Structure 1
Amino acid sequence: MNAVLNKQTKFIDLGLIDYQQAWDYQTDLFEKTVALKIDNRKADVTEQVSTPNYLIFCSHPHVYTLGKSGDQAHLLLDEKGLADKQASFYKINRGGDITYHGPGQIVGYPILDLDNFFTDIHQYLRLLEEAVILTLADYGITSGRIDGLTGVWIDIENPDKARKICALGVKSSRWVTMHGFAFNVLTDLNYFQNIVPCGIDDKAVTSLEFELGKKPDLDKVQNKLKQHLAKLFEFDLIED
């Protein structure tokens, strides 16, 4: 537990950014926070300093990412296929299987020291999901969870029609988190046809645009989501 709890959370909007560049950026913040926690453990209580928290929003050019427990066979494209789709591919250090990121998607990377909030990774995942569920409710869309599957789903009562609108995949060390969620808002869903999304071959993927039948304002969706996250986590949100 931190000697000095800090619920201040800096919001950072990176916009459309190359996946590797964003990965390096969040890794730097993550590693610095972990290092600070290690230093705090070695220091006298009076010399310990509070750890920072960050909430990063961005989107990426077309990219497929495979989690450390994923199966590369779930990528249905070879190198030429990736080039034809103008997409890149990365094996990364989060949990979960394969997913797609692209323009029109809200990708969230919370770099949080959960010692500042609660030390329960399952609660952490459920709150990320809940923020998306509440955002969808703002648009009149009912969504929820499916037992045994992470993420946010629509038509959860009908297994044959259930479809995922938000995927989750996180990493944590010493209760510091990185990676996060991908919420399909204006996403080109055709790109999901080139993978077995999250290793699940019997469920569809959807977007807010598809469910509404019209294009929502991406900035407004992002703001609603950000505010739900702040309320659920009790962030003291700091914006530049």
Structure 2
Amino acid sequence: MRAFTEARTPDTPDEIWLCEHPPVYTQGLAGQPEHVLAAHGIPVVQTNRGGQVTYHGPGQVVAYPLIDLRRLGIYVKEYVFRLEQAVLKTLADVGVTGHRVAGAPGIYVNLADPFGHAALTGPRADPFDGLGKIAALGIKVSRHRTYHGVALNVAMDLRPFEGINPCGYAGLRTVDLSTIGVPASTGEVAEAFGRHLANGLRP
């Protein structure tokens, strides 16, 4: 990603890379070692994306949009909104309602009613109360060009998340589509996710 971004010119077409990773923890630039509680032999890799520590592994769709924001005519805040919007649309395709949490990038589901359409309401002493994180987001922008991206949990072994404070939040529960009763495959989700990202990141 870094090599592609450094080598691209104003005429280089944008790309979206979709993949699965073998088990790995990745630390963002702000990552603090104490948020890795017990790695249990899983590699911890330092990266230059934003954010704290997260986990990648089989059964998770990772999307790396390589986008020229200047050419697209948007700023980083709008870019993050569009990434999250693609996750929300992908979840909606399988009947799941995703939610944003102010100040905490990524997408969450209401564990008590993941298929309900009610919005999160009222002041919440704990903004994550009753929620599970289903998609993590961490990006890097260099000379208006993006890399790193967003990971959507489909059907994973979720136990490695117990070895970290996900995204720096102690006790934050992480879920996948399988856990909330959606029997989708990573291939199906990747196809839908890629389509929504492509549609949302066109000029």
Tell me, yes or no, if the aligned pair for 2:16 and 2:198 is still in contact at 8 Å.
Answer: no
| Candidates 2, 5, 12, aligned match of 1:51 | 12
Cα deviation per residue 1:97-137 (whole Å; 9 max; x = unaligned)? 00000001001111111122123101111111110111101
| Residues 1:109 and 2:64 are matched in the alignment | yes
| Cα separation, 1, equivalents of 2:76 and 2:191 | 25
The normalised TM-score by structure 1 is 0.75
Q: After TM superposition, list the pairs within 5 Å mapping 1:66-105 onto structure 2.
A: 66-77=27-38, 81-82=40-41, 87-105=42-60
Q: How many residues align?
A: 189
What residue ranges of structure 1 are gaps of 5+ in the alignment? 1-25, 38-49, 236-240
Shift of 1:145: 0.2
Tell me, yes or no, if the aligned pair for 1:119 and 1:175 is still in contact at 8 Å.
Answer: no
The amino acid across from 1:65 in the alignment is T
**Identity, % of aligned positions:** 37
Question: Which residue pairs with 1:63 in the alignment?
Answer: 24
Question: Which residue pairs with 1:47 in the alignment?
Answer: none
Shift of 1:51: 2.7
CA RMSD of aligned residues (A): 1.6
Shift of 1:216: 1.0
SS of 2:91's partner is helix
Q: After TM superposition, list the pairs within 5 Å mapping 1:137-152 onto structure 2.
A: 137-152=92-107
Q: After TM superposition, list the pairs within 5 Å mapping 1:185-200 onto structure 2.
A: 185-200=154-169
SS of 1:210's partner is coil
Question: Which residue pairs with 1:119 in the alignment?
Answer: 74
Q: Which consecutive aligned stretches of 4+ in structure 1 deviate over 3 angstroms post-superposition?
A: none
Shift of 1:89: 1.1
| Residues 1:226 and 2:183 are matched in the alignment | no
Shift of 1:173: 1.1
What residue ranges of structure 2 are gaps of 5+ in the alignment? 111-118
